[in-house]
């Protein structure tokens, strides 16, 4: 991750890296619709990095991102567990709107057509963005890559995800991406 700022400007990327609910890094190019790279880690609080003072962990790559940008130490999530939190991120609604608050409750959720028409990916598409998603979803019933407005990059959550993302970032894009 050498030269994060230089790469952001070279590739026209708006980089937003999250650890739990904390923004680690952000950069953009003035006057243009920025490309947005949104990185979400799973089950990681903002304190779970060596740069946050955690002496039990060694997170050099994330520390470099944090050192070259902004790291929020206090942020809020609509729910502390995966499925409800991710569902909120994709829909903009609290998970209680869909009558669930645990990872197991998502299979009983009812997501309306109005909500599906305004998911994160679809709103960005309306703004002219190419939207792709890679990695784990774990969303409520009715939400998937397509219903959330994304082209599936990969469902791999390990090395395959990193390779797919690097290949995607290297290719030419006719419009901004998220």
Residue 113 Cα to chain centre, angstroms: 23
Map out the domains of the chain as residue ranges: 1-76, 78-178
Q: What is the pLDDT of residues 148-170, one digit of tens each?
A: 999 999 988 888 998 999 999 99
> Beta strands 13-19 and 22-25: pairing type?
antiparallel
Give the DSSP letter of residue 130: B
The mean pLDDT value of the chain amounts to: 82
Residue 92 Cα to chain centre, angstroms: 14
* Both structure tokens of 145: 């890559």
- CB contact at 8 A, 139 and 90: yes
Q: 133 exposed, middle or buried (CB, 10 Å; 0-12, 13-18, 19+)? A: buried
Q: What is the pLDDT of residues 38-64, one digit of tens each?
A: 877 777 777 889 999 999 999 998 898
What is the pLDDT, as a whole number, of residue 31?
A: 59
- CA distance readout (Å), 52 to 1, 2, 27: 19, 20, 21
**What are the φ and ψ backbone dihedral angles of 177, each rounded to 5 degrees?**
-125, 155
């Amino acid at each position: 991750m050498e030269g994060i700022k230089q790469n952001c400007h070279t590739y026209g990327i708006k980089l937003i890296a999250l650890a739990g609910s904390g923004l680690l890094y952000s950069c953009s190019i003035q006057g243009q619709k920025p490309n947005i790279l949104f990185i979400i880690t799973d089950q990681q609080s903002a304190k779970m990095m060596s740069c946050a003072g955690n002496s039990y962990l060694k997170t050099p790559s994330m520390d470099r991102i944090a050192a070259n940008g902004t790291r929020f130490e206090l942020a809020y999530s609509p729910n502390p567990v995966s499925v409800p939190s991710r569902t909120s991120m994709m829909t903009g609604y609290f998970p209680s709107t869909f009558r669930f608050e645990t990872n197991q409750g998502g299979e009983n959720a009812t997501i309306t057509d109005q909500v599906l028409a305004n998911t994160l990916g679809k709103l960005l598409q309306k703004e002219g963005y190419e939207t792709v998603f890679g990695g784990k979803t774990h969303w409520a019933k009715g939400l998937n890559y397509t219903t959330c407005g994304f082209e599936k990059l990969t469902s791999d959550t390990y090395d395959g995800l990193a390779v797919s993302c690097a290949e995607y970032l290297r290719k030419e894009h006719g419009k901004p991406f998220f």
